[in-house]
Amino acid sequence: MSLRREDARLAGQRIVISAGPTFEDIDPVRFIGNRSSGKMGFAIAAAAARRAADVVLVAGPVTLPTPMGLRRVDVRSAAQMHAAVLAELPADVYVGAAAVADFTPQRVAPSKIKKQAGVDTLTLELVRTTDILADVAAHAQRPRLVVGFAAETDHVEQYARGKLEKKKLDLIAANRVGIAGSGFESDDNALMVYWRDGERALGPAPKTQLADALLDLIAERLHA
Ligand code: CTP
């Protein structure tokens, strides 16, 4: 198989990608989750593997098949994803495409929480999870390119650039969630990608095509 000249720029590069949701356990039968399908992250990982990159895909709980030519590490919680991603450093590129839970129950009940007669409310104490993306970007073994995602409905550029700066990222891909047929659970998506002195609109397009467009941009920025 031969690669387009542009595609060859990622050959041999070590790329760590996190994808999917995280599930935060409440008790042995319940959890807090979100609706991320993992499709975007899996598409990026598959496209990077096709370009002969050395790809590690850290996957939250999803039902997607493992793309060819990469190593997959399955995790469940935000804490597990954090540990699994850090264990894969050093790397050339990190793409944080997972919808990581921002909060997790302070403690997991050891047995199933039962209803109590006459009690109509239940309070769950949640604590912040570690921001994996910000942690990777501040790490002693920081990848040369750290790429984040943001789901924004309005003030897309302002909020996305805020995260770019705050988390010290090189690129941020904002899901244009307001657009019909884009975002969570959809096969199509549209991204607005920002970096310090530039921006590019990608899509709307099928997530597989969008993954390739994002990798073109990643390869460009990696060699800028
Ligand atoms: N992220 C992470 N670790 C977390 C939370 C988020 O690595 N504990 C990453 C996600 O993988 C994603 C980006 O951070 O790349 C999303 O940033 P976040 O600040 O969570 O943005 P939103 O989800 O858009 O949330 P909000 O706008 O509410 O801040």
Q: Which atom of ligand 1 is nearest to the CA of 133?
A: 7
Residue pLDDT, tens place only, 72-86: 999 999 999 999 999
Q: What are phi and psi of 200, to 5 degrees?
A: -150, 135
Give me the amino acid identity at 155.
H
Identify the bridge partners of residue 17 per DSSP, sorted by sequence position: 57, 95
Domains annotated on the chain, with CATH: 7-101+124-222 (3.40.50.10300)
Q: Which atom of ligand 1 is nearest to the CA of 98?
A: 11
Residue nearest to atom 4 of ligand 1 (CA): 131
Share of the chain above pLDDT 70, in %: 93
Whether residue 34 lies in the annotated active site: yes
Cα–Cα distance, 222 to 106 (Å, whole number) = 39
Cα torsion 57, 62, 63, 64 to 10°: value is: -30
Residue nearest to atom 12 of ligand 1 (CA): 149
| Residue-level pLDDT at 113 | 96
**Could you tell me which of 4, 63, 13, 40 has the C-alpha nearest to residue 209?**
40
